[in-house]
Structure 1
Amino acid sequence: MEKTKSNLCYPLAGVVVIASLASCNSQQTEKQKPLNIVYIMTDDHTAQMMSCYDNRYVETPNLDRIAADGVRFTQSFVANSLSGPSRACMITGKHSCANKFYDNTTCVFDSSQQTFPKLLQKVGYQTALVGKWHLESLPSGFDYWKIVPGQGDYYNPDFITQNNDTIEKHGYITNLITDDAIDWMENQRNPGQPFCLLIHHKAIHRNWLADTCNLALYEDKTFPLPDNFFDNYEGRPAAAAQEMSIVKDMDMIYDLKMLRPDKNSRLKSLYEKYLGRMDQAQRAAWDKFYGPIIDDFYQKSLQGKELANWKFQRYMRDYMKTVKSLDDNVGRVLDYLKEKGLLDNTLVVYTSDQGFYMGEHGWFDKRFMYEESMRTPLIMRLPKGFERRGDVTEMVQNIDYAPTFLELAGVEIPDDIQGISLVPLLKGEHPENWRKALYYHFYEYPAEHMVKRHYGIRTERYKLIHFYNDIDCWELYDLQADSTEMHNLYGQAEYEPVVEELKNELLKLQEQYKDPVRFSPERDKE
């Protein structure tokens, strides 16, 4: 088994020391090439925890660099708020009903189907993928790939190589994925060809194990509970039935690290397995930090709202520490591209596979069509020739990434791709015929967190959701008046015309995307 070492932490900038380009002629040659694409995607990174979107909690200076040198999409959404399905939507440009990867528990991604990396390969692009794949099959359409099995491990993780070997690498996973991505750009690609590199991080996925050098960060911060932290879910039975409550469902040991021999929890053995991957120095640093916190916690015997607040504070701090490593490593990639003279000719994209709850409605996790999980951050550093800066306010979805990359590469967009190219928006245009509504469909039930199956439509102002399968209920929200989605308006007489119009539009979208699971207007009238 191969073992390689990586430093535990990196400074914010200046890590990669590279000679300048040889001449102005080589710079001119580089600019004339087709655009490169560096696509960085994280897991469960919500816009509330990026300072270019929300400065209440955390600072992300390197992510902010991307937005400052390009655009920030303020209405960016996913089609299915779950890791594997979201990735399938992204790479195919199609909704789950078309790419057939519906959920994380029953599906295997059909790697023989059309994807944007395969289409880029056909026109001479080198394609590479490093990090989290999470589609239950081996990648195809990539000249180079190295992926983590399943969710991957934060410490000393395994990687699967193209030779189908499983190797263990020593270090922290966010650093290691970045190491490999930079190594591929520096030493393995053909500099005479354009490239598309997908850097897919495990971070910031549960259970938020920070790098040892970041363990002590943010311990002096206290975060206000969201106004709806103690939501009672009145009028929303599907919301009440979930199992993703910070108060009730967040595991004291697995999620919050309160490990003690005489204490047990549902996920204790899994947490011990993660700790077992650490080497002696890593484990010593971990125990040194968490030991006093564990002792203090069990001495206090907190109950009720005091315990709820304590759990929230620990969750927020651990999440932020994991974000810190991610932001540092994004900075390493940006520094490399700058020092190699590649930024003028490279589109840099940063997004996540969906949003996440940071205590809103009392929750962690995602899955629901509500705003915090349906929304996802999307920022792009634009190459030379694209002068657009600032906010893009049109509604976009992760099925749009594939056609965008294809158009930028000069590839004809296949008719069966369901997304819309964002290139006009990157050029500063505001197409009058831009979409007025988004379609969403979540399928994974019963499963972890027990979120009911549902589909729905979101417009600029309204959101209509239908929960189905073992339940049959509708929810309507006026997002202008109720941005936190606390008041279900469905069934109120004054909103009947709005509901009728939204249902008509919802059915049109289901027909457009050929979703076989549709509501029946006739049955709905019974």
Structure 2
Amino acid sequence: MKLMVNKRDIIKGFFISFLGIFLIIFKTTILQAQETKPNLLIIQTDEHNYRTLGCYRETMSKEMAYIWGEESYVTTPNIDKMADEGALCTSFYASSPVCTPSRASFVSGLYPVATGSPSNNKPMNDEIVTFAETLQRNGYSTSYVGKWHLDGNAKPGFAPERKFGFEDNRYMFNRGHWKAFRETPKGMKFLGEFKPEKNSYSYDTKNATEETYATDFLFEKALEIIERDKNGPFCLMLSIPDPHGGNKVRPPYDTMYEDMYFENPASMDVDPETNPKWNNINGRKNVAGRKLNQHAMAQYFGMVKLIDDNIGKILNYLEESGLEENTIVVFTSDHGDLMGEHKKHNKGLPYETSAGIPFVIKYPEKILAGKKIHKALTNVDFAPTILNIMEVEGEQPEYHGIDASELFLNDEKEINEDRITYITNAGARWVAAVSDRYKLVLSPNDEPWLFDLRKDPNEEINYYNHNDYQDIAEEYREELLEMVTKFNDPILIDEKLIY
């Protein structure tokens, strides 16, 4: 029997086969393109003491890890998991430990005096090219959710007109530590009472819910954007206004740590006469001669716990949606919080838990799990480093920071490299040269202070005039003066700085 084949069926079959092959090739090409362009998710907190994170406590002696008491700590399993599966930097600093200058350095790779934002509420210069703008030029969807603090005095300043490469900034706000938000047809709004004439904001956090509390709300919006952009590549920066004061958090986190007793840190009870003059213990945020505020400490711990729980949700989403392997996740902060150390709260000083910030990065495809980097870095180094980790092509602006990508991408699990870099109070009362072990602070208001962070982790002893430290003191002084000259730090105007 002779098989009769319709010519039209042959053509149809050929077309279907060709279309199938084309779709497979097209899909493979898209997947390959996505694989060569990793996604980037940055989670930044505000005023975060790295000692509240389990992964950082593990790098310290027991005495330094539990300065508020052996039973007074908060568990952070999700941030710790990031560190276990990625890299943790033990000597990572804010370029200047105040919100605006630090944030400007993080997004630009420049020291604060070059960004137009050397102090709080100074708007970043229009011409600044951020890492987000570079990624946007390379085909990335770019978004920003949360606190910005680079658009001058605007408060709240929702969705600023200047986007600096963050194309979707609907959930960006400029200033303020709002405790709850809602979404309206006209955009994002805060909940509570704000009196601009008094710069006063109040909100009863007991009324806050998982849908409205600031941390929860912002994480949820970030998840929605990732879901929208998951076919990638995408860049999303999520900036949480907690755990910055005032120290208030929603239920049930507001009562989780109320039964803890917080001891005074050792450096809180030292003789005031032994403090550097640039510490100004009679100034604002002074806690000399008092006990820690137990309620405020418990609320701070609650804010940290809530942040960690939400990070768990976003990490689970990345895993379940198949985005984990090709998504770089960064956890960091803009500056620290002394939380009673050296008789002070908050930031603005060169001490470790004021200027030192957490930096954890997870990138399963290229960064070894459990890596520890002990080389001194600052957030000025972030932009050039992350863009090179991502293998971004094309022209980039000139950075003040270094490209440290090799530290993260090499096959060494423990990095011990010596580097002296510098941090600044941006034209105010001090500049400092820092490494993984030593820190030299120069100020027009005091003699030089040299700390040996290995021998004196509480930063109470000035080694500058000790005989055994003369070579170190001279080396760090010369390096510091060279760096502040190179980067035009205005503190050089005061000739009393030069010893």
- The two structures have a TM-score, normalised by structure 1, of 0.74
Aligned partner of 2:477 in structure 1 is 503
User: What's 1:377 paired with?
Assistant: 358
Amino acid in structure 2 at the alignment position of 1:464: L
Within the candidate set 355, 361, 369, 2:342 is matched to 361
Matched with 1:296 is none
1:196 aligned to 2:170?
no
After superposition, the C-alpha distances for 1:93-121 in whole angstroms (9 at most, x for unaligned) are 1111221210015x211243111111111
Residue in 2 aligned with 1:68? 84
Residue 423 (structure 1) aligns with: 405
- Residue of 109, 127, 143 corresponding to 1:128: 143
| Contact persistence 1:406–1:413 (CA under 8 A) | no
- Counterparts of 1:432 and 1:340 in 2: how far apart (Å)? 33
Q: Judging changes above 3 Å, is the alpha-carbon distance between structure 1 residues 522 and 454 closer, same or farther for their aligned structure 2 residues?
A: closer
The answer to whether the 8 Å contact 1:148/1:158 transfers is no
| Structure 1: distance between partners of 2:459 and 2:364 | 38
Q: CA deviation at 1:399?
A: 1.1
**How far is the alpha carbon of 1:247 from its aligned partner?**
3.2
1:30/1:345 contact within 8 Å kept: no
Query: What one-letter code is carried by the residue in structure 2 that aligns with 1:179?
Result: E
Structure 2 residue 179 is the aligned partner of structure 1 residue 154: yes
State how far apart, in whole Å, the 2-side matches of 1:126 and 1:523 are: 46
1:243 and 1:312, CA in 2 relative to 1: closer, same or farther beyond 3 A? same
Structure 1 residue 389: deviation in Å? 2.8
Q: Residues 178-257 of structure 1 correspond to what in structure 2 (within 5 A)? A: 178-187=219-228, 189=229, 191-235=230-274, 236-245=276-285, 247=287
Which residue matches 2:49? 46
Corresponding pairs, count: 428
Selected match of 2:453 from 462, 470, 479 = 479
Q: Please say if residues 104 and 444 of structure 1, whose CA atoms lie closer than 8 Å, have aligned partners that are also in contact.
A: no
Kindly tell me: are residues 335 and 432 of structure 1, through their superposed partners in 2, closer, same or farther at Cα, counting changes over 3 Å? closer
Report the Cα distance in structure 1 between the residues aligned to 2:415 and 2:85, rounded to whole angstroms: 26
Q: Is residue 2:411 matched to residue 1:437? A: no
Amino acid at match of 1:48: R
Q: Supply the distance in 2 between the matched residues of 1:502 and 1:158 (Cα, whole angstroms).
A: 51
- Where 1:457 maps in the other structure, the secondary structure is strand
AA aligned opposite 2:422? Y
Q: Structure 1 CA distance, aligned partners of 2:296 and 2:131? A: 36
Q: Given residue 109 of structure 2, which amino acid in structure 1 is its aligned partner?
A: G
Q: Does the 8 A contact of 2:147 with 2:241 survive in 1?
A: yes
Superposed CA offset, 1:179-219 (max 9, x none):
111111113x3x44311100000011111211122222112
Tell me, in whole angstroms, the C-alpha distance in 1 between the residues paired with 2:280 and 2:177.
Answer: 31
Separation in 2, partners of 1:483, 1:96: 27
Three-state SS of the structure 1 residue aligned to 2:272 is coil
Query: C-alpha offsets along residues 24-58 of structure 1, whole Å, 9 cap, x if unaligned?
Result: 97996586341000000000111101011126411
Q: Secondary structure at the match of 1:53?
A: helix
Deviation of residue 463 (structure 1)?
1.6
- The 1:143/1:317 distance shift into structure 2, 3 A limit, reads same
Q: 1:511 is aligned with what amino acid?
A: T
- CA distance in 1 between partners of 2:84 and 2:257 (Å): 25
Equivalents in 1 of 2:340, 2:415: separation in Å? 37
Question: Could you list the runs of 5+ residues in structure 2 that have no partner in the other structure?
Answer: 1-26, 58-64, 67-72, 153-159, 192-210
- The answer to whether the 8 A contact 2:254-2:298 is kept is no
Q: 1:42 to 1:157 in 2, by over 3 A?
A: farther
Q: Is the 8 A contact 1:152 1:158 kept in 2?
A: no
In 1, distance between residues paired with 2:416 and 2:452? 23
| Native 8 Å contact 1:157 1:173 kept in 2 | no
Q: Output the CA distance in 1 between the equivalents of 2:447 and 2:343.
A: 22
Deviations 1:393-433 (A, max 9, x none): 22111111111221114235636211122321112367999
Look up the SS of the partner of 1:108 in the other structure.
Answer: coil
The Cα of 1:347 is off from its aligned counterpart by 0.5
* Higher RCO structure, 1 or 2 (CA under 8 Å, sep 6+): 1
- 2:435 corresponding residue in structure 1: 459
User: Are 1:112 and 2:152 matched, yes or no?
Assistant: no
Distance 1:166 1:89 in 2: 27
1:98 aligned partner, one-letter code: A
Q: Displacement of 1:379 after TM fit?
A: 0.7
Task: Specify the alignment match of 2:22 in structure 1.
Answer: none
- The letter for the 2-side match of 1:151 is G
Q: Give how far 1:154 is off.
A: 0.8
2:377 corresponds in structure 1 to 396
Aligned CA distance change for structure 1 residues 51 and 26 (closer, same or farther; 3 Å): farther
CA distance in structure 1 between the aligned counterparts of 2:106 and 2:312, rounded to whole angstroms:
24
Identity, in percent, stands at 28
Aligned-CA RMSD value:
3.0
Structure 1 counterpart of 2:164: 140
Of 30-39 and 399-408, more deviation after overlay is shown by 30-39
Amino acid at match of 2:124: F
In structure 1, the gaps of 5 or more residues are 1-23, 249-304, 446-452
- Change over 3 Å in CA distance of 1:459–1:135 after alignment to 2: same
Aligned partner letter, 1:439: Y
SS in 2 for 1:329: helix
> What's the CA shift string for 1:332-387, capped at 9, x where partnerless?
11111111100000000000111211221122101101111111011111132333
Between 399-408 and 454-463, report the one with greater CA deviation. Answer: 454-463
Question: Which residue identity is paired with 2:166?
Answer: F
| Cα deviation, residue 130, structure 1 | 0.2
How do 1:504-519 residues align onto structure 2 when only pairs under 5 Å count?
504-518=478-492
Matched position secondary structure for 2:421:
strand
Q: Rate the CA distance shift 1:415–1:109 in 2: closer, same or farther, 3 A.
A: closer
3-state SS of paired residue (1:32) = helix
Q: Following the alignment from structure 2 to structure 1, what is the Cα–Cα distance between the partners of residues 114 and 405?
A: 23
TM-score (normalizing by structure 2): 0.78
| Cα 1:411–1:517 shift into 2, 3 Å | farther
C-alpha distance in 1 between matches for 2:115 and 2:358 = 23
Shift of 1:222: 1.6
1:314 offset after TM fit, Å? 2.1
Instruction: Specify the SS of the correspondent of 2:441.
Output: strand
Matched residues in 2 for 1:130 and 1:486: separation?
39
